[in-house]
């Protein structure tokens, strides 16, 4: 097994599974961007064959007592590692930066356990085509849930998909109070402990928007037949509607180690790190999303329906906008405005886009980021 993004939230939880079930795993590689201290600690504890560091040198690792594994460094190190033969490659890199590694793992015919949703959003059909011979095992909790609901069932009997959203920290907050919501409040997720980007995307509901596009591509279901509901408890993660009226739901405690373990060991299952859920006296609620306030979700549906380079532009504009929000340059509700304005002017990006290669998608992403920065500049 290889873990890309091993120093992040997904990566460290994956390593916790390795700690609990050491006999199940042979560690091929670990990768990080710049957190050399954490990567060195992991390399000393787990003795992988390779370590990959995007921003740093072999010397940085040697100075921290990492002598044994082969070291890959520099831009593209994670992708180089993704090409090394492994029984499964977990992509826990955050953001668009994870696309190259997804492509590399699939081109090398490694099984891909995928947490990095942005690579399916931006890579779309082209990435799914690469996955024809070695299917992707989803790790994102909702997609793992749907995958598990579909196990052993005929895809042509499916009529729709359900994705649940926690609603984030602001689901019940009046719009007027959101005008001054800052990063600290936005990063207080009610049910999950995750990296900064996914947590902020949950607060804006862009996370669910990205996940709708991810589900459309992974499961081949049209946007009209994908439903999102707000489920504050984050115990039901997703479901499948069947043509005969049956509705199969997946539920589990909100702990990412469950879908990560499933993705790494599929089709096997190992003992849960958390106890069984007692359902007695428990209430589950399901509400409509507040699309008038959290506009990133309807914008993502629209970008998905438009197709072409629009999902690339949605994702790029979001990454630019959230960086600005975290730096205090724009307000919480401006994130959706920046995404919307970028999409409105994205027809040029779409017309020029060549989405059948990594270079083509990277070019579309760069163009959309430039467009989003123009939008931000014009708002000053």
Ligand X SMILES: CC(=O)[C@@H](O)[C@H](O)COP(=O)(O)O
Ligand Y SMILES: NC(=O)C1=CN([C@@H]2O[C@H](COP(=O)(O)OP(=O)(O)OC[C@H]3O[C@@H](n4cnc5c(N)ncnc54)[C@H](OP(=O)(O)O)[C@@H]3O)[C@@H](O)[C@H]2O)C=CC1
Range in contact with ligand X (rule: CB under 6 A) among 19-27, 69-77, 201-209, 314-322: 201-209
| Helix, strand, coil shares, percent, the chain, to 5 | 50, 15, 40
Residue 180 and residue 145 in contact, taking contact as beta carbons nearer than 8 Å: no
What's the order of all strands across the beta sheet hosting 50-53? 70-73, 50-53, 29-32, 2-4, 89-91, 112-114, 136-138
Q: Is 8 known as a binding-site position?
A: yes
Residue 19 sits at the vertex; the CA angle it makes with 12 and 250, to the nearest 5 degrees, is 70
Nearest distance from C-beta of residue 288 to ligand X, angstroms? 15
Residue 199 and residue 207 in contact, taking contact as beta carbons nearer than 8 Å: no
Helix axes 196-204, 206-219, angle to 10 degrees: 100
* Residue 300 to residues 175, 192, 369, Cα–Cα distance (Å): 20, 22, 16
Nearer residue to Mn ion within complex by CB, 80 or 140: 140
SS3 (DSSP) at 159: strand
Segment 111-170, which members bind Mn ion (CB under 5 A)? 140-142
Per-residue binding string, ligand Y, 129-148, x by CB under 6 A, is -----------xx-------
Per-residue binding string, ligand X, 170-199, x by CB under 6 A, is ----------------------x-----x-
Per-residue binding string, ligand X, 220-259, x by CB under 6 A, is ------------------------------------x---
Segment 180-239, which members bind ligand Y (CB under 6 A)? 192, 194-198
Distance CA(284)–CA(275), nearest Å, equals 19
Q: Is 361 known as a binding-site position?
A: no
- Using the 8-state DSSP alphabet, how is residue 287 labeled? B
Nearest distance from C-beta of residue 38 to ligand Y, angstroms? 6
Q: Is 79 known as a binding-site position?
A: no
Q: Is 55 known as a binding-site position?
A: no
Q: Is 6 known as a binding-site position?
A: no
Q: Which of 266, 189, 190, 48 is nearest to 198 (CA)?
A: 189
Query: Could you say which of Mn ion, ligand X, ligand Y, none residue 250 binds, taking C-beta under 5 to 8 angstroms by partner kind?
Result: none
Distance CA(100)–CA(50), nearest Å, equals 18
Choosing from 7, 102, 111, 202, the residue that interacts with ligand X (CB under 6 A) is 202
Q: Which residues are annotated as a binding site for NADPH?
A: 7-10, 35, 116, 118, 195
Residues forming contacts to ligand Y in the complex (CB under 6 A) are 5-11, 32-35, 54, 78, 92-94, 97-98, 115-118, 140-141, 192, 194-198, 256
Q: Which residues are annotated as a binding site for 1-deoxy-D-xylulose 5-phosphate?
A: 117, 141-142, 166, 189, 202, 207-208, 211
Residues forming contacts to Mn ion in the complex (CB under 5 A) are 140-142
């Amino acid at each position: 097994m290889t873990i890309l993004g091993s120093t992040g939230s997904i990566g460290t939880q994956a390593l916790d599974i390795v700690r609990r079930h050491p006999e199940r795993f042979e560690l091929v590689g670990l990768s990080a961007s710049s957190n050399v201290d954490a990567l060195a600690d992991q390399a000393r504890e787990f003795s992988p064959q390779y370590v990959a560091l995007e921003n740093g040198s072999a010397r940085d690792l040697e100075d921290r007592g990492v002598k044994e594994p082969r070291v890959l460094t520099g831009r593209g190190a994670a992708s180089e590692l993704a090409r090394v033969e492994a029984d499964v490659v977990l992509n826990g890199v955050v953001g668009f930066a994870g696309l190259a590694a997804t492509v590399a793992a699939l081109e090398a015919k490694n099984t891909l356990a995928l947490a990095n949703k942005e690579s399916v959003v931006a890579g779309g059909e082209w990435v799914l085509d690469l996955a024809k011979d070695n299917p992707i095992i989803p790790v994102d909790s909702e997609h793992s849930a749907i995958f598990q609901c579909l196990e052993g069932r005929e895809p042509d009997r499916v009529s729709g998909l359900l994705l649940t959203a926690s609603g984030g920290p602001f689901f019940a907050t009046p719009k007027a109070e959101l005008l001054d919501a800052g990063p600290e409040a936005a990063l207080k997720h009610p049910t999950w402990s995750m990296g900064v980007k996914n947590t902020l995307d949950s607060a804006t509901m862009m996370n669910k928007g990205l996940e709708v596009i991810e589900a459309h591509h992974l499961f081949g279901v049209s946007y009209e037949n994908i439903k999102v509901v707000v489920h504050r408890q984050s115990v039901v993660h997703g479901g499948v509607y069947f043509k005969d009226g049956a509705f199969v739901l997946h539920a589990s405690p909100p702990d990412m180690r469950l879908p990560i373990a499933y993705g790494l060991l599929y089709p096997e299952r190992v003992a849960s790190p958390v106890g069984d859920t007692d359902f007695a006296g428990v209430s589950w609620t399901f509400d409509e999303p507040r699309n008038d306030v959290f506009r990133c979700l309807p914008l993502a549906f629209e970008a998905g329906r438009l197709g072409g380079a629009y999902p690339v532009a949605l994702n790029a504009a979001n990454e630019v906008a959230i960086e600005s929000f975290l730096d205090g340059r724009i307000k919480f509700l401006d994130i959706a405005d920046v995404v919307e304005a970028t999409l409105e002017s994205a027809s040029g990006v779409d017309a020029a886009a060549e989405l059948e290669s990594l270079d083509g998608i990277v070019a579309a992403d760069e163009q959309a980021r430039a467009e989003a920065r123009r939008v931000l500049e014009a708002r000053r």
